Amino acid sequence: MSPERPVLAGARYFFLSYVPPPTHSDRTLGDHWVRRFYHDLNLAIDGRPGARLRRRGFADFTVRLSEDRAEQKRVALAEAEVFVPLYSPDYLNRDDSRREREWFRQRLLRAGRPADGDNILPVLWTPSPAAVHATDQARALAMAADVEAYAANGMSALCRLQIFQRDYQEVLGRLAQHIVDTAEQTPLQPAEPPTGPTDVPSSPTSEVPFLAVVIAPGQPPGASRLNGRPDTHAGRWRPFRDRPPVVDDVTDAVQRLRMPIDVQDFAPDEGLFRGCPGVLMVDPRVVETPDGTEAVRAAVDCLHSWVGVVVLIDDPAPGRRSHSTVLLDRAVAMFPPAARPLAVTTYDDWRAGVHGLVDRMRRRYLDARPAYPPPGRPISKPRLWENPPPDEGVEP
């Protein structure tokens, strides 16, 4: 698409960007309240005057199962007039959600518009008490800072609770009017859909990360990777032939629990896992080298009860005493009984156990080292009200 191409009469008015619930299927993407908000926002837009032919806003859960969801999402991101992200601690901590926002920002800059101007309309979905989210949260409050219930509880609560329905309709109307005004008065030219990964500016997370550390042959020292950025040996390590890197499976398991993940190549540091849960993954071929053996011994000193240890190797001859089996036994024997590793020799076994392993380590960490409240001055968790009215409840 060239920059001179006129705006399509039926271009989508908005693109809804949100964090899916921890467990979902292809048939039920998006939780009930995100779906309701999307539906209500479309109705509010349709109820406002305008000269343009309108298409409903885009949300990935509107794509039919028979269609290519990723392609539909890619095109909608390039054509939508307004980007509507639902801000929550989960959204602002995750690279995948922030990557959508960053691509749209780059589209605005290429069009000569401010990166955080009228074409990005953030909604405060769930308030965050974290200082690192203050700037983003302030932008989301700008549309309705005078609506006390919205500022205190977020749009999710307004959508759910009968007591806030008047405030919900008020904020919804403002959002709809802003979208209509922006699309009608200052339309945005379509752009070429994104074709590759978009770099996301680093942002400090407000949460304790889950740490995935790899000891494997050929690791460069000091490399690291946050939320899937492919700049480590660990991120490319494939112990199972013709299978994806195993850290991809760990990332999926961690993000289903709505935690940020930090993937690292191992470097000796006794404080490595002190402040976060994690898994240590070991390629047993390292025990054939002095440096590898030394790295495994150093890793033993870094372990805590909330760190799972897994030794992974693709065994071409299961059930027989192969060279892989010998290396596996040697690596396992280097760990004390209290930290006895899981020995995994097939990709199917790895996939079957990784989600349970991540969940167990997270639970152990929360039991032994509570992550809330954080160090420093106490902060208040967001709440819907101080003293709930006795007769009000969640809308059925």
Contact 197, 225 (CB under 8 A): no
pLDDT value for 310:
95
pLDDT value for 380:
46
Q: How far apart are CA 74 and CA 12, in angstroms?
A: 13
User: What residues contact residue 351 under an 8 Å CB cut-off, 6+ apart?
Assistant: 249
For residue range 330-359, list pLDDT tens digits in order.
999 999 988 889 999 999 999 999 999 998
Stretch (H or E) spanning 34: helix 32-46
Q: Does the structure show a pLDDT above 60 at 3?
A: no
User: What residues contact residue 2 under an 8 Å CB cut-off, 6+ apart?
Assistant: none
Q: How far apart are CA 82 and CA 117, in angstroms?
A: 10
pLDDT value for 54:
66
- Residue given tokens 């020292």 in the structure block: 221
pLDDT value for 396:
38
In the structure, what pLDDT confidence band is assigned to residue 389 with cuts at 50, 70 and 90? Answer: very low
- Residue given tokens 């290519």 in the structure block: 68
Write the single-letter amino acid at 23. T
- Number of C-beta neighbours around residue 220 at 10 A: 8
Q: Does the structure show a pLDDT above 60 at 203?
A: no
- Residue given tokens 């404080």 in the structure block: 271
Distance of CA 234 to the CA centre of its chain: 20
In the structure, what pLDDT confidence band is assigned to residue 395 with cuts at 50, 70 and 90? Answer: very low
Burial category of 370 from C-beta neighbours within 10 Å (exposed 0-12, middle 13-18, buried 19 and up): exposed
pTM value is: 0.55
Q: How far apart are CA 213 and CA 224, in angstroms?
A: 9
Least confident range from 4-13, 55-64, 91-100, 108-117: namely 4-13
Q: How far apart are CA 109 and CA 141, in angstroms?
A: 23
Contact 296, 281 (CB under 8 A): no
Q: What is the mean pLDDT of the chain?
A: 80
pLDDT value for 28:
45
For residue range 304-334, list pLDDT tens digits in order.
999 999 999 987 666 666 788 888 899 999 9
pLDDT value for 318:
61
Q: How far apart are CA 221 and CA 208, in angstroms?
A: 24
Q: What is the mean pLDDT of residues 118-147?
A: 90
Number of H helices, E strands in the chain: 11, 9
Q: Does the structure show a pLDDT above 80 at 271?
A: yes
Q: How far apart are CA 346 and CA 96, in angstroms?
A: 29
pLDDT value for 205:
53
Contact 287, 217 (CB under 8 A): no
pLDDT value for 314:
87
Percent of the chain with pLDDT over 90: 37
Q: Is the peptide bond before 260 cis (omega within 30 degrees of 0)?
A: no
Fold (topology level) of 210-368: Rossmann fold (3.40.50)
In the structure, what pLDDT confidence band is assigned to residue 22 with cuts at 50, 70 and 90? Answer: low
Q: What is the mean pLDDT of residues 165-185?
A: 94
- Residue given tokens 């990557």 in the structure block: 99
Strands lying side by side in the sheet with 82-87: 14-17, 82-87, 123-124
pLDDT value for 370:
46
pLDDT value for 369:
61
- 261 against 235, higher pLDDT: 261
Question: Of 89, 116, 112, which is closest to residue 102 (Cα–Cα)?
Answer: 116
Same fold, 14-185 and 210-368: yes
Question: Of 217, 229, 233, 223, which is closest to residue 313 (Cα–Cα)?
Answer: 217
Report domain extents, the chain: 14-185, 210-368
82 forms beta bridges with 14
Rg, Å, the chain Cα set: 24
Q: What is the mean pLDDT of residues 279-302?
A: 90
- Angle, helix 148-160 to helix 165-185, in steps of 10 degrees: 100
Q: What is the mean pLDDT of residues 168-179?
A: 96
Burial category of 337 from C-beta neighbours within 10 Å (exposed 0-12, middle 13-18, buried 19 and up): exposed
pLDDT value for 25:
46
For residue range 213-236, list pLDDT tens digits in order.
999 886 544 444 333 333 457 778
Q: Does the structure show a pLDDT above 50 at 387?
A: no
pLDDT value for 390:
42
Whether domain 14-185 has CATH 3.10.150: no
